[in-house]
């Protein structure tokens, strides 16, 4: 193989790599007598953990649930979406509070929220949050739900949470 052809092949590979890095393109470049193939995996957000629960009431109330342990230190995005899925006849003290916790390079951090409830689920009966954070290696991301029952009837919620590795 002559040097000129090899140089062109290397330059094409570098250009395709750079293009793939920014656009997530998979490419194949062919040089006579040789086949060059690369499947690129550029740094981009990847969902590394999910928690999907539906029709939850008293299950795990007040107990921290670990749904991710960071394999390496880095930036992560925590997302949570909690709609009320069923109402109750009389609300009374009914409530749901949420606490998300993670550990960065310094200490454990916590973010909290409260789900607004109604006798029947509506457009505003949801709690959602997106939190971008530095998470230390070998530490847990936890969620804790504290459920308080209605005066009469049983209300439920759905829990959809995820963690994305940003870099």
Reduced to 3 states (helix: H, G, I; strand: E, B; else coil), residue 9 is helix
Residues 24 and 65 in one domain: no
Residue 39 has pLDDT above 90, yes or no: no
Average per-residue pLDDT for the chain: 80
Scan for tokens 């992560």, then name that residue: 76
Residue 19 has pLDDT above 70, yes or no: no
Residues 143 and 125 in one domain: yes
Specify the pLDDT at position 133: 92
CATH of the domain at 102: 2.60.120.340
In angstroms, the CA 82 to CA 159 distance is 5
Specify the pLDDT at position 36: 47
Q: Which of these, 131, 140, 144, 135, lies nearest to 97 by C-alpha position?
A: 144
Specify the pLDDT at position 41: 45
Residue 37 has pLDDT above 90, yes or no: no
Contact status, residue 66 vs residue 140, Cβ threshold 8 Å: yes
Residues 33 and 50 in one domain: no
3-state DSSP of 40-92? CCCCCCEEEEEEEEEEECCCCCCCCEEEEECCCCEEEEEEEEEEEEECCCECC
Q: What radius of gyration, in Å, describes the C-alpha atoms of the chain?
A: 24
Residues 110 and 154 in one domain: yes
Which secondary structure element, helix H or strand E, spans residue 3, and what is its range?
Answer: helix 3-23
**Contacts for 71 with CB less than 8 Å, ≥ 6 apart:** 137, 138
For residue 151 the two structure tokens come to: 């005066």
């Amino acid at each position: 193989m002559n040097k000129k052809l090899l140089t062109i092949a290397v330059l094409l590979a570098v250009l395709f790599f750079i293009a793939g890095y920014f656009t997530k393109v998979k490419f194949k470049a062919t040089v006579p007598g040789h086949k060059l193939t690369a499947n690129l995996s550029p740094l981009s957000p990847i969902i590394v953990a999910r928690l999907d629960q539906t029709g939850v009431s008293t299950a795990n109330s007040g107990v921290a649930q670990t749904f991710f342990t960071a394999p390496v230190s880095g930036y992560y995005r925590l997302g949570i979406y909690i709609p009320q899925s069923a109402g109750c006849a009389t609300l009374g003290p009914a409530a749901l509070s949420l606490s998300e916790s993670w550990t960065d390079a310094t200490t454990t951090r916590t973010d909290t929220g409260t789900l607004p409830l109604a006798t029947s689920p509506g457009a505003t009966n949801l709690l959602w949050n997106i939190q971008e954070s530095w998470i230390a290696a070998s530490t847990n991301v936890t969620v804790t739900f504290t459920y308080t029952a209605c005066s009469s009837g049983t209300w439920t919620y759905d829990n959809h949470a995820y963690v994305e590795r940003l870099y």
